[in-house]
Amino acid sequence: MKSLTDYYTLHNGVTIPCVGFGTWQTPNDEVGITSVKTALDVGYRHIDTAAIYGNEVSVGKAIKASNIPREEIFITSKLWNDDHGYEATLRAFEESLKRLDTDYLDLYLIHWPNPPKFRDKWEEVNSATWKAMEELYEAGKIKAIGVSNFRPHHLEAIMAQAKIVPMVNQIRLCPGDLQEETVEFCRKHNILLEAYSPLGTGKVFDIPQMQFFEQKYGKSIAQICLRWSLERGYLPLPKSVTPSRIEANADIFDFQLEERDVEDIANLTGACGFGGDPDLKTF
């Protein structure tokens, strides 16, 4: 990967820019619009949002204000937990399109596999949800479909009934939180791994070993983490509303990590904590 517009190719042939601009916790106001517009100005062409983030409107406004042709920007959104099921998925998708002010999505994900509302029948409901997403995909309203926070047993349940294997699984991947079983399963089935919280929700900045690498490479800890993510074959989704950090997070293509350092960073087990069990989430 040599630039923000280099890409991974999904198993259906769709290309996806190798770094995405995350918008979790980004407000739905001028701050949100400005941050996404700044990211696009810096060179990002991949914007990741979700219905539950509450900022799809500002993401859409920023994309319009950028004057960049829609087809040059890869937009991801996600289906929230209350809207699982066939009919609810179709409605929620259309609502996301309206908020984003676009007529198609590049990627649509099931945000979580097993919300409490459907916990006693999550497999059945996920299959109905996936059927709706397959239909939207086949109708050309979504270029690619996938999931988020799914572990192997969730993926197996979807795939047992699916016509289309998920193209993406967006999970928490950062130094010391590798989700190795899920990563191995996804790679076996050619499912691209997107890394949310690639900086360990900020915990990575307190790790002494990362401070050593910062000195060694002359790069910030954030830049080292994002480069590490790419070298592991993930697609990182850094998030910021600070213009200088948005720009710095894009400056990760003029250096490489030594293979030993990639392994050492991977082996910082638990240093950034771990993502919780999706089967036990209370939302």
Which residue numbers are catalytic? 53
DSSP 28: S
Cα-Cα-Cα-Cα torsion 177, 180, 185, 187, nearest 10 degrees, comes to 80
Alpha carbon 211 to its chain's center: 26
Closest CA to 200 of 238, 249, 248: 238
Write the CB contacts of 98 (distance below 8 Å, at least 6 apart in sequence): none
Of 53, 67, 62, the C-alpha closest to 22 is 53
| CA dist., res. 102 & res. 60, Å (int) | 8
Longest dimension (CA), the chain: 54
What is the C-alpha separation between 122 and 105, in angstroms, rounded? 25
Bridge-based pairing of strands 15-17 and 74-79 is: unpaired
Tell me how far apart the alpha carbons of residues 185 and 188 are, in angstroms, rounded to a whole number: 5
DSSP state of 177: B
Measure the CA–CA gap between 43 and 250, rounded to whole angstroms. 8
CB 201 within 8 A of CB 180: no
d(CA 237, CA 239): 6
